[in-house]
């Protein structure tokens, strides 16, 4: 097949550098993935390879350009994702991820999905009253749910956000910790506080917590309640018992949503106690108004090495 050359020119060298996440080493990923050669200098970039490869490379940079012009800072992950999407053809482009901007605080940056699965997850939460986000740590399950909840709170679509998770790790040792039950389980609710502090100004976050507009509580506090006009997040749901999961799902009142997040590979329950998340996955899979979004290692948005760690463990354990 006769090689084809293609040259693209951009406004400034700085704009082009932004498209490749300010690191020319990312172009090696493009060359290896599409099997072509890349040359770049000043404000232009040229590709040499098969017609299919150069067309895909052009598609990659058109996607990156639209994304950057929409105000998104291109990262190494974004660049690799744009290449992967172009190769698969049919997946939503990178620039579509920036169409959703979830607002927490005026002084904090907006939150947008960073992978196609994350986009599907956000849309599923918006379109369904009960949503499950399932998959490994670091895929944004809880963080994005919190972002959607705050966005709805700001738009007055709900009146409060309730965050809860089981404190299975504490076990019988809870009795030896100081304070009441809420204080005893506080260390296990820390990730939920971190998400709030990342999206809200400290003063606003404190006010919401003091006025219980945002309530963070151990799962035991949910029994007997009816949660109306609320956005509920049940985190670490793999550590709920079957009774706890059923109890939480049936707390939902009018004009409320619930998001259940968990990872079935990280169950800390005793071996003779079945996971409530596992049962819910099977019992609720065909009900309208309930969505399931399943994340993979490729959706991990922490340090890039985390994706490789998760993948390696999955291979080893299988």
**How far apart (Å, rounded) are the C-alpha atoms in residues 45 and 224?**
63
Domains contained in the chain, CATH given: 4-99 (3.30.1370.10), 116-317 (3.40.50.300)
Asked whether the predicted pLDDT for residue 111 surpasses 60, the reply is yes
Per-residue confidence band for 172, with pLDDT thresholds at 50, 70 and 90? very low
pLDDT tens, 32-78?
Answer: 999 999 999 989 999 999 999 999 999 999 999 999 998 889 999 89
Nearest by Cα to 238 from 316, 142, 122: 142
* Residue 188, both tokens: 């296990």
Average pLDDT in the chain? 88
Record the pTM. Answer: 0.82
Q: Strands across the sheet with 4-9, in order?
A: 4-9, 44-49, 37-41
pLDDT tens, 11-24?
Answer: 999 999 999 999 99
Instruction: State phi, psi for 109 to the nearest 5 degrees.
Output: -70, 150
Range in 37-41, 156-160, 164-168, 271-275 with the lowest mean pLDDT: 164-168
Per-residue confidence band for 171, with pLDDT thresholds at 50, 70 and 90? very low
pLDDT tens, 131-145?
Answer: 999 999 889 999 999
Nearest by Cα to 69 from 99, 38, 47: 99
Is the Cα torsion angle 204, 186, 252, 260 positive or negative in sign? Answer: positive
Whether the CB-CB separation of 154 and 103 falls below 8 Å is answered with yes
What's the average model confidence in pLDDT over 162-174?
A: 66
| pLDDT at residue 217, as a whole number | 82
Whether the CB-CB separation of 174 and 185 falls below 8 Å is answered with yes
């Amino acid at each position: 097949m006769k090689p084809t050359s293609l040259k693209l020119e951009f406004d400034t060298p700085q704009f082009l550098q932004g498209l490749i996440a300010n690191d020319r080493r990312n172009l090696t990923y493009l060359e290896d993935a599409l099997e072509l050669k890349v040359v770049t200098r000043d404000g232009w970039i040229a590709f040499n390879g098969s017609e299919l490869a150069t067309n895909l490379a052009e598609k990659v940079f058109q996607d990156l350009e639209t994304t950057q012009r929409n105000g998104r800072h291109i990262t190494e992950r974004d660049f690799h994702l744009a290449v992967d999407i172009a190769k698969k053809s049919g997946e939503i482009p990178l620039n579509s991820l920036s169409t959703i901007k979830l607002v927490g605080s005026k002084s904090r940056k907006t939150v947008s999905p960073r992978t196609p699965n994350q986009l599907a997850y956000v849309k599923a939460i918006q379109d369904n009253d009960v949503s499950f986000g399932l998959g490994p740590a670091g895929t944004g399950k809880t963080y994005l749910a919190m972002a959607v909840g705050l966005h709805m709170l700001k738009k007055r679509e709900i009146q409060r956000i309730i965050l809860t998770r089981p404190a299975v790790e504490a076990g019988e040792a809870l009795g030896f910790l100081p304070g009441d039950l809420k204080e005893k389980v506080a260390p296990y609710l820390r990730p939920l506080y971190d998400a709030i502090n990342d999206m809200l100004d400290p003063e606003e976050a404190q006010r919401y917590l003091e006025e219980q507009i945002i309530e963070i509580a151990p799962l035991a506090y949910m029994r007997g309640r009816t949660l109306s006009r609320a956005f509920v997040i049940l985190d670490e749901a793999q550590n709920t018992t079957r009774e706890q999961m059923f109890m939480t799902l049936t707390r939902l009142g009018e004009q409320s949503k619930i998001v259940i997040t968990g990872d079935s590979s990280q169950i800390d329950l005793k071996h003779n106690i079945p996971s409530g998340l596992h049962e819910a996955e099977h019992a609720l899979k065909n009900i309208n108004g309930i969505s399931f979004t399943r994340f993979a290692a490729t959706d991990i948005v922490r340090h890039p090495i985390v994706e490789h760690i998760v993948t390696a463990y999955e291979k080893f354990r299988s």
